[in-house]
Structure 1
Amino acid sequence: MPETWFNVRWPDDSRMRCYSPSSTITQFFEPGARYAVSEFVGIARAALTHASERVRAKYGYACSASAEQLAVIERAAEAFASHATVTVEGFER
């Protein structure tokens, strides 16, 4: 369950390096793909919840860093219209 970072570019061209406790994040996002902000947040919520549950299954507790990352994403998304686009630029391990 290797930690994986995913890099995103927000509608204002700012960039964010996001954390996932599991490489399963790569099953939710396509590198180079553009997502409406609302869609991106929904997928991030599903992906980070899934990753946190994998941690729970392995170690007996959820991943608090995953929940914190989701909160950061949700706060950042509030600054943009829901139809504006976010680009997932790629992944790092």
Structure 2
Amino acid sequence: MPEVRFTIRWPDGKEERCYSPSTAIRRFVAAGETYPLADFLERARDGLTAASDRVAAKYGFACTAAMAELARIEARGRPFLGCEGAEVVCLSLDE
């Protein structure tokens, strides 16, 4: 199952490389797109859950790395939730 690394830019301008255990994340985020923060967090949640589900379907167990990455993304995004106009940019998706 191909992994995907995706690079995002947070509202504070910092860039971060993120991990998905499957290409399922591509259905939820796209390189070059800008998302309102809450929308991005929902997309990350849906995409990483779908990726973990694909791992579970193939191997019989959920992907703890995907859930850990989701928890890290949500924790990193939480401080920006009250900021007007906060956006996340998906810079790239690489297999």
TM range (shorter): over 0.9
Mapped to 1, the partners of 2:27 and 2:37 lie a distance apart of 18
TM-score normalised according to structure 1 size: 0.95
Alpha-carbon deviation of 1:81?
Answer: 3.2
Alpha-carbon deviation of 1:24?
Answer: 1.7
Question: Which residue is equivalent to 1:90?
Answer: 92
Alignment of 1:1-93 (within 5 A): 1-81=1-81, 83-93=85-95
Mapped to 2, the partners of 1:60 and 1:54 lie a distance apart of 9
Mapped to 2, the partners of 1:22 and 1:75 lie a distance apart of 22
Runs of 4+ in 1 over 2 A off after TM superposition: none
Q: Report the secondary structure of 2:80's partner residue.
A: coil
Q: Gaps spanning 5+ residues in structure 1: where?
A: none
Contact 2:30/2:93 (8 A) holds in 1: no
Tell me the number of residue pairs that the alignment of Structure 1 and Structure 2 aligns.
93
Mapped to 2, the partners of 1:84 and 1:9 lie a distance apart of 11
Q: Gaps spanning 5+ residues in structure 2: where?
A: none
Cα RMSD for the two superposed structures: 1.0
Identity %: 44
Q: Report the secondary structure of 1:55's partner residue.
A: helix
Mapped to 2, the partners of 1:50 and 1:24 lie a distance apart of 6
Mapped to 2, the partners of 1:5 and 1:25 lie a distance apart of 10
